[in-house]
Amino acid sequence: MNLHEYQGKELFAKFGLPVSKNKVITSAGDAVNACRDIGGNNWVVKAQVHAGGRGKAGGVKLVSTPEEAVEFANHWLGKRLVTYQTDSNGQLVNSILVEECTDIAKELYLSALVDRGSQRIVFIGSSEGGVNIEEVAENTPEKIIYEPIDPLTGPMVFQSRKISKVLGLDVEQSKQFSKMLPKLTDLFITHDLSLLEINPLVITQDGKLHCLDAKINIDSNAVYRQPEIQAMHDPSQEDPRESEAALNDLSYVSLDGNIGCMVNGAGLAMGTMDTIKYFGGSPANFLDVGGTATQERVSKAFKLILADPEVKVVLVNIFGGIVRCDLIAEGILAAIEEVGVSIPVVVRLEGNNADIGSNILAESSAEIVSLNSLEDAAKKAVELSK
């Protein structure tokens, strides 16, 4: 689960990390008061969406009158912002962050994530901030430090000194950073983050470290124990079908092809997509219907798949392990009737009682092609999609 920048900064402030004075607005009229409350003569207004690249897309602006802030808010609120990280539809702008202006002397990079290799929380720092960190890693790897945190000790002062050196901090800034590092770790662990990124972390004109951006992702497995984070969830930033699927405990990702896929198991679902591509077709989605594949779940899955107008055929691939395929076949038929599926459905059942299951499907009046091998089923689905 992702947070907006303003939500990330709320958490930063709560953990005692330096962020700019700011206000969030959801209607343009509030911009004037927001600027007044913050004070000063310049403000930065930032469209809040779950995507990077906002600056280049016109979603961030420096303004010098409250009226300009109103104009910016009027322009963006309710519209969709398209950046290089979004699809062509972009993300809906529901809120604008108004911030006091920061005088920047230098831009740095700092992030923390769970590193699979070392199996630790790792801090990544670089003297090159405000740019794409993957490029820095590629071109000038010596400008990046990876510092793993031992879960037993937590971050140590010597580690903050190591990171400070690579960031190029002076003695005072290094001291400030040694106080920030435990707070960042505390935030990471307290709220079950999977990613925390400050790009840029800046040194201000008066020599202080300051968090100018905040990108935070939360481990979706741990959201259940994060009530404060749950309240920050913004469904408008997600694909509506993916949100609907999540509510029904189905794993769904929409793609741009025309063969709807319903598979049990995430690995097999990916393998099925690959097989469709292998035979020259194009999958419309990833969908893991789960190990049990009951009528209820299959019905919900059909509804999701058919909500995509591009879908011309549905390929159902179920490896019935513990669950008997004859029961799954009955569930599929009932679901097709319940949902009113009017496009062809190709079903491949394998495993326990697969023959009986296939017979049940073959004898039904529904427009179903039942095949035992995945190869035949995938080829048939591709043929029907053309």
Partner 1 sequence: MSILVDKNTRLLVQGFTGSQATLHSEQSIEYGTNIVGGVTPGKGGQTHLGVPVFNSVHEAVEAVQPNASIIFVPAQFCKDSILEAADAGIKLIICITEGVPTLDMLIVKKRVDELGITLIGPNCPGIITPGEAKLGIMPGSIHLQGSVGIISRSGTLTYEAVKQTSDLGLGQSTCVGIGGDPIPGTSFIDVLKMMESDDQTKAIVMVGEIGGTAEEEAAEYIKENISKPVISYIAGQTAPAGKRMGHAGAIIAGGKGTAADKIKRLEQCGVHIAENLLQIGTKTKEVLG
166-180: b (≥16 Cβ within 10 Å) or e = bbebeeebbebbbeb
- Contact indicator for 264, 352 with CB cutoff of 8 Å: no
- Pairing type for strands 313-320 and 345-351 reads parallel
**CA 181 to CA 115: how far, in whole Å?**
17
10-46: b (≥16 Cβ within 10 Å) or e = bbbbebebbbbebbbbeebebbbebbeebeeeebbbb
Please classify residue 364 by burial: count the beta carbons closer than 10 Å to its beta carbon, then call 0-12 exposed, 13-18 middle and 19+ buried: middle
Whichever of 43 and 319 has its CB closer to partner 1, that residue is: 319
Q: Which of 41, 89, 116, 340 binds partner 1 (CB under 8 A)?
A: 116
Whichever of 71 and 238 has its CB closer to partner 1, that residue is: 238
Least separation in angstroms between CB 352 and partner 1: 6
**147, 197, 242, 350: which one is catalytic?**
197
Q: Which of 8, 129, 155, 320 binds partner 1 (CB under 8 A)?
A: 320
Helix (H) or strand (E) holding 197: strand 193-204
Is position 319 an interface residue for partner 1 (rule: CB under 8 A)? Answer: yes
Q: Which of residues 28-57 bind partner 1 (CB under 8 A)?
A: none
- The residue range among 17-25, 198-206, 318-326, 356-364 that interacts with partner 1, by the rule CB under 8 A, is 318-326
Is position 268 an interface residue for partner 1 (rule: CB under 8 A)? Answer: yes
- Contact indicator for 351, 300 with CB cutoff of 8 Å: no
CA 228 to chain centre: 18
Least separation in angstroms between CB 140 and partner 1: 16
Least separation in angstroms between CB 193 and partner 1: 9
Is position 322 an interface residue for partner 1 (rule: CB under 8 A)? Answer: yes
Residue 250: name the closest of 325, 312, 335, 354 by CA: 335
Q: Which of 100, 107, 219, 238 binds partner 1 (CB under 8 A)?
A: 219
| Catalytic residue check, 109 | yes
- Contact indicator for 341, 311 with CB cutoff of 8 Å: no
* Token duo for residue 119: 């199996």
Least separation in angstroms between CB 369 and partner 1: 18
**Number of Cβ within a 10 Å radius of residue 117:** 8
- The residue range among 14-22, 62-70, 213-221, 302-310 that interacts with partner 1, by the rule CB under 8 A, is 213-221
Half-sphere exposure of 28 (CA within 13 A, CB side): 14
Whichever of 78 and 151 has its CB closer to partner 1, that residue is: 151
Least separation in angstroms between CB 39 and partner 1: 38
Q: Which of 13, 32, 101, 270 binds partner 1 (CB under 8 A)?
A: 270
Least separation in angstroms between CB 10 and partner 1: 21
- The residue range among 41-49, 116-124, 156-164, 169-177 that interacts with partner 1, by the rule CB under 8 A, is 116-124
**CA 170 to CA 203: how far, in whole Å?**
10
- Pairing type for strands 215-218 and 313-320 reads unpaired
**6, 109, 147, 350: which one is catalytic?**
109
**CA 312 to CA 306: how far, in whole Å?**
9
| Catalytic residue check, 10 | no
**CA 169 to CA 161: how far, in whole Å?**
9
Here's the x/- map for partner 1, 128-147, by CB under 8 A: it reads as ------x-------------
Is position 313 an interface residue for partner 1 (rule: CB under 8 A)? Answer: no
Whichever of 82 and 96 has its CB closer to partner 1, that residue is: 82
Here's the x/- map for partner 1, 338-377, by CB under 8 A: it reads as ------------xxx---------------------xx--
How many chain residues are in contact with partner 1, going by CB under 8 A? 49
**Number of Cβ within a 10 Å radius of residue 256:** 11
User: Which sequence positions are flagged as catalytic?
Assistant: 109, 197
Residues of this chain that bind partner 1 (CB under 8 A): 114, 116-117, 119-121, 134, 151-152, 189, 192, 194, 219-222, 224-225, 251, 253, 255, 263-271, 273-278, 283, 286, 288, 291, 319-322, 350-352, 374-375
